[in-house]
Structure 1
């Protein structure tokens, strides 16, 4: 009886192993593909979230230029613009009122 049951059990395990391995491999490939694809960022406050803005083109009534940057790049863009405008205002003031940052 043992001699009849042992080959049947071994054969059953072999069949399960052979049929399950492609399914396991497919699941493993799917998990690897998901980890390679970047996830879409939905939090608007995330530094890597991309925002787009349309700016008018000077000299045209209808044309607009679309600019897309991440939140981090927009913050740097605004800081540079503020710094340039502050320098312009300070340079146009009379000499005795000119302030210098400490």
Structure 2
């Protein structure tokens, strides 16, 4: 019986000390909040799932990752347009007749 009581006291003591540690963590996290323009700030977007009218998915990435994906998509689009114009013989030099 004494052994069970001692274990109970030890567990209670551990929960009190861990509770004190947990109460300090939100204060530390509050100090480390990032501005929305920070590259490490996590942003989430909700997008529709292809093939479904109702289903949506939430995508969360840092600003740095969103920028990288946007840049890669733009580069891919430019490569496709450049490739198509080279195949058809059309030069992309701005306005017609200026080449």
Give the shorter-chain TM-score range. 0.5 to 0.7
- The alpha carbon displacement at 1:52 in A equals 0.3
- 1:60 maps to 52
CA–CA distance in structure 2, aligned partners of residues 78 and 57 of structure 1: 19
Does 2:30 match 1:41?
no
- 1:97 maps to 91
Gaps of 5+ in 2: 1-20, 94-99
2:65 to 60, 65, 73: 73
Deviating 4+ runs (over 3 angstroms) = 37-40
Gaps of 5+ in 1: 1-29
Helix, strand or coil for the counterpart of 1:97? coil
| Count of residue correspondences | 68
Alpha-carbon RMSD: 2.9
CA–CA distance in structure 2, aligned partners of residues 66 and 90 of structure 1: 33
Q: Deviations over 1:48-75 (max 9, x none)?
A: 1000001111111011121100011111
- Larger displacement relative to structure 2 (39-48 or 52-61): 39-48
CA–CA distance in structure 1, aligned partners of residues 56 and 32 of structure 2: 27
- The alpha carbon displacement at 1:41 in A equals 2.3
- Bigger radius of gyration among the two: 1
Helix, strand or coil for the counterpart of 2:68? helix
CA–CA distance in structure 2, aligned partners of residues 44 and 62 of structure 1: 29
- The alpha carbon displacement at 1:42 in A equals 3.7
